[in-house]
Amino acid sequence: MSLPRVLLGAGPETMDFAVHRRVHGDPPTAGRAAGAAARLHAELTRAGLRGRGGGAFPLAAKLAAAQRAKRRPVVVVNATEGEPLSVKDRMLLESLPHLVLDGALCLADALDTGEVIIAIDECFGDATASMRRALLERPDLGGHTAQAKIVNVPSGYVTGQETAIVNFINSGIPRPVTQPPRLTERGIAKRPTLMSNAETLAHVALIARHGAEWFREMGREDEPGSALVTLSGGVRAPGVFEIEYGSRLGSVIEAAGGLTEPVRAFLFGGYAGSWVGGEAARSARLSRAGLAPLRASLGAGIIVALPESACPVAEVARVAAWMADESAHQCGPCVNGLGSIADVLIDVCEGRGGRDAFGDIRRWSELVTGRGACAHPDGTARFVTSALSTFATEFDDHARHGLCEACERRPVLIVPRRRVAVRS
Amino acid sequence: MRLDVDPIKCEAHGLCAELLPERITLDEWGYPIIDPAPIPASLQDLARRTVNACPTLALKLRALESRPLDGVQTRSRRVVSGRDGGEAAPGRRARSTR
């Protein structure tokens, strides 16, 4: 079978339940019979499905951990998508809510639980409405007996981090908490919680129907299947594309109508991701193994083509300042480190960097990595240090001469309007 | 055993670095940087005292052990801050939020 898999039949309109059944067949029912859960676990293990929210954690391992728990688990669909440059999960909910639901209900069946929560960013009005309609279209939830409810989570970069979602549902505070305990041991209402990204669940729905062998017919041996990517920046038709793991970057660019102008560099993995120079990236294959030599990864499936006409220094400084602001302001190294990095980047951009600016930025980046309750500082540090290496010439130029002509151009890397920082 | 800091609870009082400079230094903002190496027997008493001295109870001594989780190696981080190495006293248990 060829592409599209997840996006089969996807269009501008929401795929209703009747069409969904016509396109994909009846919803898979893992069933609660003894052995059904073990079969789904075995299928997911053989499929090698990993989480698509950026963490790439093997779903079967998560499922097994939740199965081991003594109390009745809760299944959570993570459709918060805090990365400003990713729209795949919102698109899935708006366009294919039943596929995501199928996957969530399969896991709920396997865990013999009746509770499914769909966590959606509070600003995703269309996605929320589409999912609400989808739930009404299958009041029996397609043969499952689960109760599914929608929870709207406050917008933000770290509010979609899984412990932040659980914290919000438990206590109304949308900020990450320190692990352990893992959520599969103790999450919502102290119950074991299996949280999975919306796209991951769409793949579960397909694996439950067609099996692991089918899933592995596509992609690489060590990274099977297909993935959704959001491609934006200097391409003619930016949007969400389904790719086969291991395919060339060039083929997605082609699918997006080609480049609008020469590209200076590509950003992989969003604002917690890495920059790769345009030449090096062009022949790259889109997989963990293909991007590892470039010290990059797809993260939540985000690719941005930064055109040569853009100023990378202004773009990077703007995003770094936004990311510092988006910190939950709970952990000292993150608050102080990201703030210092952002301040000096802005100074460099405006030509007031000082002699040790780059040394300071690199030192702070190393200093914050691994020292937050969540990976927010790690991701921002990666984004900034890869930018220093990729755009060394431009950063030097700015350190010496300050603002350039391109600084004032419309940003390629969008940042949502700043909110008042939540301080503890 | 090894030392861990809960970065959310830590408020940079800095006592830990004074009590256990062998393992803990402070970054330029006063937050502890902890040597990840296991604590040798000779330092364990001192490490326990350091854990107990933290004003925000952000430090923990954890048992070093690993168990396979379906092929994924993870470190089981059972809290052993009590003197006898048992569960932490209820009052010392990490609260999930501020």
pLDDT at A147: 83
Left, alpha or beta for A354 (phi > 0: left; psi -120 to 50: alpha)? left
Q: What is the pLDDT of residues A199-253, one digit of tens each?
A: 999 999 999 999 999 999 999 999 999 999 999 999 999 999 999 999 999 999 9
Mean pLDDT lowest among A213-217, A220-224, A279-283, A356-360: A279-283
pLDDT at A423: 42
Which residues 21-50 of A have a C-beta within 8 angstroms of B?
45
Q: Give the relative orientation of helices A36-47 and A97-110 as an angle to the nearest 10 degrees.
A: 120
Nearest to B29 among A60, A173, A336 (CB): A336
A375 touches chain B (CB under 8 A): no
pLDDT at B96: 34
Half-sphere exposure of A11 (CA within 13 A, CB side): 7
Nearest to A58 among B10, B11, B72 (CB): B72
- Provide the shortest C-alpha distance from residue A383 to chain B (in Å): 22
A163, A367, A371, A423: which to substitute to probe chain B, counting the most B Cβ within 10 Å?
A371
Q: Is A63 exposed, middle or buried (0-12, 13-18, 19+ CB in 10 A)?
A: buried
B6, B57, B69: which to substitute to probe chain A, counting the most A Cβ within 10 Å?
B69
Q: Report the pLDDT averaged over residues A257-282.
A: 96
Judged against a pLDDT cut of 60, whether residue A19 lies above it is answered with: yes
Q: Name the DSSP letter for residue A270.
A: G
A58 touches chain B (CB under 8 A): yes
Strand partners of residue A307: A263
The residue ranges of DSSP E strands in A108-238, in sequence order, are 115-121, 147-153, 193-197, 219-220, 223-224, 226-233
- Provide the shortest C-alpha distance from residue B78 to chain A (in Å): 9
Instruction: Say yes or no for a CB contact (<8 Å) between B29 and A175.
Output: no
- Distances in Å between the alpha carbon of A387 and those of A245, A291, A296, A317, B70? 25, 16, 12, 10, 36
Rounded distance between C-alpha atoms, residue A367 and residue A361, angstroms: 10
The residue ranges of DSSP E strands in A171-291, in sequence order, are 193-197, 219-220, 223-224, 226-233, 239-244, 263-268, 274-277
Nearest to B29 among A61, A177, A332 (CB): A332
Neighbours of A204 (CB within 10 A): 29
- Quick one: what percent of chain B has pLDDT higher than 70? 65
pLDDT at A36: 78
pLDDT at A33: 58
Which residue has tokens 């990490």? Answer: B94
Which helix (H) or strand (E) segment holds residue B34: the answer is: strand B32-34
Nearest to B31 among A330, A333, A373 (CB): A333
- Quick one: what percent of chain A has pLDDT higher than 70? 95
Name the residue of chain B whose CA is nearest to A186's CA.
B96
Q: How confident is the model at residue A31 (pLDDT cuts 50, 70, 90)?
A: low
Residue numbers in A near B6 (CB within 8 A): 178, 373
Q: Report the pLDDT averaged over residues B63-73.
A: 51
Contact A334, A377 (CB under 8 A): yes
Residue numbers in A near B11 (CB within 8 A): 332
The residue ranges of DSSP E strands in A72-145, in sequence order, are 74-79, 115-121
Q: What is the pLDDT of residues A365-422, one digit of tens each?
A: 999 999 999 999 999 999 999 999 999 999 999 999 999 999 999 999 999 875 544 4
Q: Report the pLDDT averaged over residues B67-95.
A: 38
The number of angstroms, rounded, from the C-alpha of A303 to the middle of its chain's C-alpha atoms is 12
- Quick one: what percent of chain A has pLDDT higher than 90? 86
Average pLDDT of the residues of chain A: 93
Rounded distance between C-alpha atoms, residue A101 and residue A51, angstroms: 16
Instruction: Say yes or no for a CB contact (<8 Å) between B8 and A371.
Output: no
Q: Where are the alpha helices (DSSP H) in A256-356?
A: 278-282, 288-291, 312-326, 332-349
Length, in residues, of chain A: 424
Judged against a pLDDT cut of 70, whether residue B74 lies above it is answered with: no
Residue numbers in A near B97 (CB within 8 A): 167, 171, 173, 175, 177
Torsion over CA of A38, A42, A47 and A53, rounded to 10 degrees?
50
Name the residue of chain A whose CA is nearest to B73's CA.
A61
Rounded distance between C-alpha atoms, residue B72 and residue B65, angstroms: 14
Q: Give the relative orientation of helices A392-401 and A376-390 as an angle to the nearest 10 degrees.
A: 80
Rounded distance between C-alpha atoms, residue A281 and residue B3, angstroms: 41
Q: Name the DSSP letter for residue A285.
A: B
Contact A195, A165 (CB under 8 A): yes
With 0.95 as the threshold, say if the pTM is over it: no
Instruction: Say yes or no for a CB contact (<8 Å) between B7 and A333.
Output: yes
A130-149 residues labelled b (16+ CB within 10 A) or e (exposed): bbeebbebbeebbebebebe
Judged against a pLDDT cut of 60, whether residue A362 lies above it is answered with: yes
Q: 3-state DSSP: chain B helix, strand, coil percent, rounded to 5?
A: 20, 25, 55
Residue numbers in B near A186 (CB within 8 A): none
Judged against a pLDDT cut of 70, whether residue A91 lies above it is answered with: yes
- Distances in Å between the alpha carbon of A255 and those of A248, A374, A384? 11, 35, 29
pLDDT at A37: 82
Nearest to A177 among B8, B12, B31 (CB): B8
Residue numbers in B near A330 (CB within 8 A): 7-8, 98
pLDDT at A418: 57
Name the residue of chain B whose CA is nearest to A60's CA.
B70
Residue numbers in A near B95 (CB within 8 A): none
Neighbours of B46 (CB within 10 A): 14
A173 touches chain B (CB under 8 A): yes
- Provide the shortest C-alpha distance from residue A332 to chain B (in Å): 7
Residue type (1 letter), A158: V
Judged against a pLDDT cut of 50, whether residue B91 lies above it is answered with: no
Please give the residue that has the higher pLDDT: either B21 or A416.
Answer: B21
Instruction: Say yes or no for a CB contact (<8 Å) between A61 and B8.
Output: no
Q: Give the relative orientation of helices A59-68 and A36-47 as an angle to the nearest 10 degrees.
A: 150
Q: What is the pLDDT of residues A174-189, one digit of tens each?
A: 999 998 899 999 999 9
- Provide the shortest C-alpha distance from residue B39 to chain A (in Å): 19
Q: Which two tokens stand for residue A129?
A: 């409405």
pLDDT at A183: 95
Nearest to B8 among A60, A171, A178 (CB): A178
Rounded distance between C-alpha atoms, residue A9 and residue A412, angstroms: 30
Q: What is the pLDDT of residues A321-337, one digit of tens each?
A: 999 999 999 999 999 99
Neighbours of B15 (CB within 10 A): 14
Judged against a pLDDT cut of 50, whether residue B73 lies above it is answered with: no
Q: What is the ipTM of this complex?
A: 0.88
- Quick one: what percent of chain B has pLDDT higher than 90? 59
pLDDT at A143: 53
Residue numbers in A near B58 (CB within 8 A): none
pLDDT at B85: 36
Size of interface A-B (CB pairs under 8 A): 64
pLDDT at A26: 85
Backbone φ and ψ for A259, nearest 5 degrees, come out as -80, 150
